[in-house]
Structure 1
Amino acid sequence: MGYGFYSELVENVLESSESVKILNRFLSNPNAFLFDHLLTLKPVNFLEGELIHDLLTIFVSAKLASYVKFYQNNKDFIDSLGLLHEQNMAKMRLLTFMGMAVENKEISFDTMQQELQIGADDVEAFVTDAVRTKMVYCKIDQTQRKVVVSHSTHRTFGKQQWQQLYDTLNAWKQNLNKVKNSLLSLSDT
């Protein structure tokens, strides 16, 4: 193995210690909710297999239950980072809700209580707080005990989301062409 390999290894080790600090800052920021871009960074990739990388992966794409299990098994690690468990729980509840809202346009209160580990009395306050973040747009339907979602930000934006965007834009283009052709046929008569 040549000098270049060892040089890159030392560089990655130095970058990885800084990466832990940066990841910690991102995870503890109460206004940061999207983390998938961090997984593409070389120094973060170097941390794969470390607890901090596992924690980041949970915040990127897992549900609240995964965080709870991670916390139960790694409480000392979370504490050593200076991360507050209750803040992490609040953020993971929102991230889990965002994922639910992308998949389902209607979510029952019962499902929310189960997935988000909140009481029946906390659903409305949670939804209000979630809407304030502007990551989810929804309304509460009290009579049917459900939340009706109009929009939710994707937690990750990869190939599948690009394809969905392409399909949506293509459908709009086709619809606009139909409207254009209809208007042209009306103007010809």
Structure 2
Amino acid sequence: MAEHNFTKNFKENLCEALNEFFEEENLDLIAVKEFKIESKKYSKSFIDIAVLDRNFEEDGTLQNILGIEIEVSSNQEQIIKNYDKFRYFITQKNKGKGKFIGGLFHLIFDYANISEDTTIALIKHAIKESERRYFFYNMYLHDVEDLRASRQLAYELVENDWKFRAKFIALLDLIFFE
């Protein structure tokens, strides 16, 4: 789907807020927007934000990854497609190459068209996938009143929204620190 100005600005502001959080917490992680992922099935696509080990900047070796997909005006099919693309990317990285761990954090705003049934199906599928211990998933559904306040919202989520932080930090822990 076409990217809104809100999504573009929010992505940039969320990257900035996450990088400040990583620095404050003394974590060797970095958030990068529009990170290219490639797979045989989907060719190349971009994840809205990728959280990577800071060493990636120096040597270019992709180790573990946490992808963040931001869904503002998406529909159910696009949300599922984004999930499938990233899960497939992680699955392909794991074939014959030791232990590569990845996860997807879906940030879904109330403007997105997703039903309760689709939400439940995604969570159930993700729980089943997580039994393999190399792909993890979580989502955060968020009501937003003003799509003009992208910077304020990004910092509010990272600094003050305990539900967002709990889900995000839990994924960070599973992917980078276990």
TM-score (norm 1): 0.25
Ranked by relative contact order (alpha carbons within 8 Å, sequence separation 6 or more), the top structure is 2
Structure number with higher helix proportion: 1
Structure number with higher strand proportion: 2
User: In terms of Rg, which structure is larger?
Assistant: 1
